[in-house]
Structure 1
Amino acid sequence: MKKITAMIKPFKLDDVREALSDIGIQGITVTEVKGFGRQKGHTEIYRGAEYAVDFLPKVQLDIVVADDEVERVTEAIITTARTGKVGDGKIFVSPVEQVIRIRTGETGNEAV
């Protein structure tokens, strides 16, 4: 099993969720986060005062899938979240050693 963590722009969340649902992904965890990469933040003017926005709002998706589903899931995220501009985000794929469904005690792929 693999854990896919994707950092995307917040306005792309609904599109990505729909794309994942269309390919049969049933469970994702969504977290609102802040960070920066190559964008490095920007400056804004609020009530006449200029201030720096160092961390930009992003959405983090965590999805655990079987090894054979990783390519389909990452491709769905890439095609749906891409705007072609700096700050589209990143996808990280990590190994998962064990999954246990608390309610039933199922383990492995059955628990996902």
Structure 2
Amino acid sequence: MKEIMAILRPNKMKATKDVLEALGFPSMTACRVLGRGKQKAIVEELKTCISIEDKDNSKGTMRYVPKRLMSIVVNDEDVSLVVEAIMKINHTGNIGDGKIFVSPVDDAMRIRTSERGKDAI
């Protein structure tokens, strides 16, 4: 099993969720996050009120950029399908498209039924 963590633009979450559900991967965890990479700012995409930094007179930079963090655990054989779908939906060719991280998952447990491993996901 692998955990796929994707940091995405907020306006791409619904399309990402819809495509993954259509592919048979309806289960995920998602949350709002703030962070910063090379992008530095997405002023034109902001719908929330976050102050823009201007300490060093560098316009268009921010302390943190709002993104969405999506986490999904899949079987090893499904990793490439899920990653390719996320990449296709979220690729614009511009800075700020996001990042995807794939990590191993040693075990999973479903609390309700006590199922473990692949049966739990």
TM-score (norm 2): 0.83
Quote the sequence identity (%).
42
Alignment of 1:1-112 (within 5 A): 1-41=1-41, 51-52=52-53, 53-112=62-121
**Greater mean deviation of Cα atoms: 22-31 or 33-42:** 33-42
CA 1:27–1:35 in 2, change beyond 3 Å: closer, same or farther?
same
**What is the DSSP-based 3-state SS (H/G/I as helix, E as strand, rest coil) of the residue aligned with 1:92?**
strand
Give CA-to-partner distance per residue, 1:6-33, whole Å, 9 cap, x none. 0000000000001101110020000100
Which one-letter code corresponds to 1:8 in the other structure? L
For 1:86 and 1:71, locate their aligned partners in 2 and report how far apart those are by CA, in whole Å.
23
Any stretches of 5+ residues in structure 1 without a counterpart?
A: 45-49
Give the letter for the 1:74 counterpart.
Answer: V
Structure 1's consecutive aligned runs of 4 or more residues displaced over 6 angstroms after TM superposition are none
Aligned length: 107
Equivalent-residue separation in structure 1 for 2:111 and 2:52 (angstroms): 46
Give TM-score scaled by structure 1 length.
0.90
1:36 shift after superposition: 1.1
State the shift of 1:43 in Å.
Answer: 7.5
Tell me the CA shift for residue 107 of structure 1: 0.3
8 A Cα contact 1:42 1:54, kept in partner: no
Give the secondary structure class of the aligned counterpart of 2:96.
coil
How far apart in 2 are the matches of 1:86 and 1:65? 28
Per-residue CA distance 1:77-96 (angstroms, 9 max, x = gap): 00001111100000000000
Gaps of 5+ in 2: 45-50, 54-61
